[in-house]
Amino acid sequence: VSGEVPISARKKLDKTGKDLQIWHEFIDELSDAVRQLLSKDSRDQKIRQAVREAVEVIASAFTSYRERNNIVIEIEIPSTITTPPMFLAQLYSIITNLLTNAMKWVMFQKDRRIRFEGINIENGIEIKVLDSGPGVSKEIREKVFEPFVSYSTPNLELGTGTGLGLTIVRNFVTDANGTVEFVDPPEGWGCCCVIQFEDE
Ligand SMILES: Nc1ncnc2c1ncn2[C@@H]1O[C@H](COP(=O)(O)OP(=O)(O)O)[C@@H](O)[C@H]1O
Ligand SMILES: [Mg+2]
């Protein structure tokens, strides 16, 4: 039969098949992450959570997306870095929102890098999310944490942009007595989001 299908139609079919394959991979990866996110364990109890492990789980949910879009991610977090007591689902949500934001905005550049850093600070820990995107200008650095404030354009795979992501991030960080803000990025980066948790 394939001999009777005009070559242009066959090319289109090939492309559709490939597209479907890509979507299939993407949904598979995401559903793994969602399963973990919704698992009872992740809402069981507020405990100190290992940051590196959580970043790895969430980052791996977007492997095929990152590969297709040439986004490079670095995770520079010693495995000893832990949060104050919180639900794992809260940490996953914080990381997912910050990572999907970073992935959305690096798409505007040719150079697409994201880096998670974690260090001990006096009395606590600091987590930085750096990306090579355009960053958040000083005038709107606080405003972006307000509900429904969004300047993003719809991204088919990463969501339409409800303007709730950063509101959720701040709620969960504050809930664990932490702070989150955008600061001037270091040399070589476009955006820098900093979370600090201090122990009482
Ligand atoms: N990594 C980032 N780079 C540039 N701008 C960002 C980044 N993260 C967040 N923002 C800005 O903050 C706004 C609010 O983010 P968020 O609450 O996650 O909403 P949404 O992603 O749905 O737009 C975004 O629309 C964008 O303008
Ligand atoms: Mg968002």
Q: Nearest-CA neighbor of 118 among 78, 155, 146, 151?
A: 78
Q: Which domain holds residue 22?
A: 2-198
What is the whole-number distance in angstroms between the Cα of residue 160 and the centre of ligand 1? 11
Cα–Cα separations (whole angstroms), residue 122 to 76, 89, 196: 19, 26, 10
Dihedral sign of CA atoms 196, 78, 51, 152 in order? positive
- Residue 89 above 70 pLDDT? yes
CA separation for the pair 169, 191 (Å, rounded): 16
**Residue with the larger pLDDT of the pair 87 and 25:** 87
Mutation choice for ligand 1 from 131, 150, 182, 192, CB with most ligand atoms inside 8 A? 150
105 lines ligand 1 (CB under 6 A): yes
Q: Please write the tens of the pLDDT for every residue from 25-77.
A: 777 767 767 776 767 666 778 999 999 999 999 999 999 999 999 999 999 99
Residue 147: predicted pLDDT: 93
**Comparing 37-41, 141-145, 165-169, 177-181, which segment has the lowest mean pLDDT?**
37-41
Place 2 in a pLDDT band, splitting at 50, 70 and 90: low
- Phi, psi of 125, deg, nearest 5: -135, 160
Dihedral sign of CA atoms 133, 137, 141, 145 in order? negative
What is the whole-number distance in angstroms between the Cα of residue 75 and the centre of ligand 1? 21
What is the whole-number distance in angstroms between the Cα of residue 80 and the centre of ligand 1? 29
Q: Which ligand is nearest to the CA of 134?
A: 1
Question: Ligand 1, closest atom to CA 131?
Answer: 1
Residue 5: predicted pLDDT: 78
CA separation for the pair 169, 94 (Å, rounded): 5
Cα–Cα separations (whole angstroms), residue 29 to 22, 34, 69, 79: 11, 9, 16, 24
Q: What is the mean pLDDT of residues 76-103?
A: 96
CA separation for the pair 96, 66 (Å, rounded): 14
The CATH number that applies at residue 46 is 3.30.565.10
Q: Please write the tens of the pLDDT for every residue from 99-154.
A: 999 999 999 999 999 999 999 999 999 999 999 999 999 999 999 999 999 988 77
Residue 168: predicted pLDDT: 94
Total domains present in the chain: 1
Q: Which ligand is nearest to the CA of 160?
A: 1
Q: Nearest-CA neighbor of 173 among 196, 150, 200?
A: 196
What is the whole-number distance in angstroms between the Cα of residue 20 and the centre of ligand 1? 29
133 lines ligand 1 (CB under 6 A): yes
Q: Which ligand is nearest to the CA of 152?
A: 1
* DSSP-derived pairing of the beta strands 124-131 and 191-198: antiparallel
